[in-house]
Chain A
Amino acid sequence: MTNSDLKKTANKVRKGIITAIHSAKAGHPGGSLSAADIYTYLYFEEMNIDPQNPRWEERDRFVLSKGHTAPGLYSALAHRGFFPVADLTTLRQLGSYLQGHPCMQHVPGVDMSSGSLGQGISAAVGMALAGKLDGKDYRVYTLLGDGETQEGQVWEAAMFAGHRKLDNLTVIVDNNGLQIDGAVDEVCTPYPLDKKFEAFNFRVITIDAHDYDALRAAFQEARATKGRPTAIIARSMKGKGVSFMEGQAAWHGVAPNDEQFALAMEDLLKIDTELSQEEEIG
């Protein structure tokens, strides 16, 4: 996909996020939006997957370690064809398969249940280890929040992955700088993240999470890296794409009301218009 197509797709993913969370009247828009470009790049460009065969054994795997941003994952999966986009409005509703946090038994395309921070990365490491044990060439990706790296288990997993030289593993940190109670470095700083991953034998690449050239280069470099896992520190904007949510910790876990929903969708429609104009000028 071209960068332009990826950006358009990401905007669809963002609309899906806002629509789902608005319908649910609960959920986590800030971190879903900050990671929307990462989800889009992974599911529309990077990963070897088959929406018609979600449990295909040779597929690349993805574990959403920061499980609370499930709406972003669900929206990407739906737009990629794993299940109907219309189902996004059932998010968090009684009886829906789209649980508040990802449940692998019920959602096509979800490779691991997650939601309790710090645990997803370990499961991803286990999948990467299985790939090595079986001599398979699938790759494993996991997305963490920056606040999530305060969990000690993250570093247990990093130590193991580095020790075992799991070069089929790519850890992405959605580094939007904010967690529920405020700025990550004010709550309890996990920085410097790059040095910590390096110390555990990771190749570390720091990028702008919303720059598709940078995403492409980083994932290509991860693929080419042998003998150690890769950590991509993706500097992002919490709430990216919705003006009044951008950079606001307050939008970590709050749903937009009807009025805010309309404003958010207006913002995203503007982005569509801008992208079309860019393409015409292009």
Chain B
Amino acid sequence: MSEAIKIATRESYGKALVELGAQYPNLVVLDADLAGATKTGIFKKAYPDRHINCGIAECNMTGIAAGLATCGKIPFISSFAMFAAGRNYEQIRNSIGYPHLNVKIGATHAGITVGEDGASHQCNEDLALMRTIPGMVVMCPADDIEARAAVHAAAAYDGPVYLRFGRAACPIINDREDYHFQIGKAEILQEGTAVTIAATGICVGAALEAADMLAQEGIKAEVINVCTIKPLDEELIKSSARKTGKVVTAEEHSIIGGLGSAVCDALSEEAIAPVYKIGMRDVFGESGPAPALVAKYRLDGKGIYEQVKAFISN
């Protein structure tokens, strides 16, 4: 893990859109007065005619994207996760999901690392909402490299995709030469035998830190990076669970309906292993600096380490 370089995945989103702009002349980017914050402003500079600011009207933006998609465009709609997924849920469900239109939803500022804006803007429910829509692909990248790869994969994929990005800069963890991204494929970042930690988004880096702390005590944790929440890489998670016998999930999201629930769904039929879910425990967030919030809600390396240890000691 390269501690020196930290990049927010929303930044990666904006940059990837520019990279894709040349490749896909039919790619258009829609925003709802947040182009500076969602980083689609980077795309706007490169392709002003293909950047459509819809004003503060996310539901209409979603419908416009649906209409554009029926005419062969590849629209990326952008807003904070709270609005992109929360306010827009029914528009996405009926105008994009039901007709299975080729619209990509780029949701930035997800989770509590929004920080100081507080609970009204900290969306910890978006993965749950988007997972329930038939045919929706749901991705939550862990770093800059994965975020850009996910945006490229979303553009190449024909169908609706939800992409979750963060506001806060996060460390690079996928800077390997053999790195390869594929929708629906999770990846073992570190092999282990005592417990499986399946993490997504910013919790992947934190899970690696937790695994280091556990290793110092002789506990070998297997760390899996789950970028695609749906369709979930059930095979990989099941095989890891069979090996370790205990699974912990970690996500900057409610423990209801997100990665933790998806993993439980995958493991429950054969009752392969007990699962402990780390995440927001059915509470709203609050204002504060992102690192302080992550520590308070025990989503950092230390918090994950402590919870994993308590779980496997039982």
Residues of chain A at the chain B interface (Cβ within 8 Å):
57, 61, 63, 103-105, 111-113, 115-116, 118-131, 133-134, 152-153, 156-157, 159-160, 163
Contact = CB atoms under 8 A, between A and B. Distances in A.
Interface residues of B, number: 29
B34 interface: no
Given A105-B100, A125-B60, A133-B28, A116 B94 contact: yes
Contacts of A153: 57, 59-60, 63, 91
Contacts, number: 105
Nearest to A153: B59
A150 to B, nearest CB: 14
B95 interface: yes
Contact of B67 (A57, A123, A134, A163): A123
Binding site secondary structure of chain B = helix
A95 B69 CA distance: 27
B99 A160 contact: no
A156 B59 contact: yes
Contacts of A61: 70
Interface in B25-58: 28, 49-50, 52, 54-55, 57
A122 B63 contact: yes
B310 interface: no
A103 B60 contact: no
B90 interface: yes
B66 interface: yes
A112 B70 contact: yes
A104 B99 contact: yes
Interface of B: 28, 49-50, 52, 54-55, 57, 59-60, 62-73, 75, 90-91, 94-95, 98-100
11 contacts: A122-B62, A122-B95, A123-B66, A126-B69, A128-B67, A129-B64, A134-B71, A160-B55, A160-B60, A160-B64, A163-B55
Given A112-B67, A123-B95, A130 B60 contact: no
Contacts of B50: 133
A131 B71 contact: yes
B67 A122 contact: yes
B104 to A, nearest CB: 14
Given A105-B99, A105-B100, A111 B57 contact: no
A61 B62 CA distance: 18
B94 A113 contact: yes
A112 B99 contact: yes
A129 B52 contact: yes
A248 to B, nearest CB: 29
Given A103-B98, A121-B63, A160-B60, A130 B90 contact: no
B303 to A, nearest CB: 41
Nearest to B99: A113
A132 B174 CA distance: 41
A103 B99 CA distance: 7
A48 B70 CA distance: 17
Contacts of B57: 153, 156, 159-160
Contacts of B72: 57, 130
Contacts of B28: 133
Contacts of B100: 105
A26 B98 CA distance: 22
B94 A126 contact: no
A122 B66 contact: yes
Nearest to A55: B70
A142 to B, nearest CB: 10
Contact of B95 (A119, A129, A130): A119
- In the A-B complex, the 7 residue pairs with the smallest Cβ-Cβ separation, listed nearest first, are A126-B67, A122-B63, A156-B60, A130-B71, A126-B64, A123-B67, A156-B57
Contacts of B70: 61, 104, 111-112, 123, 126-127, 130
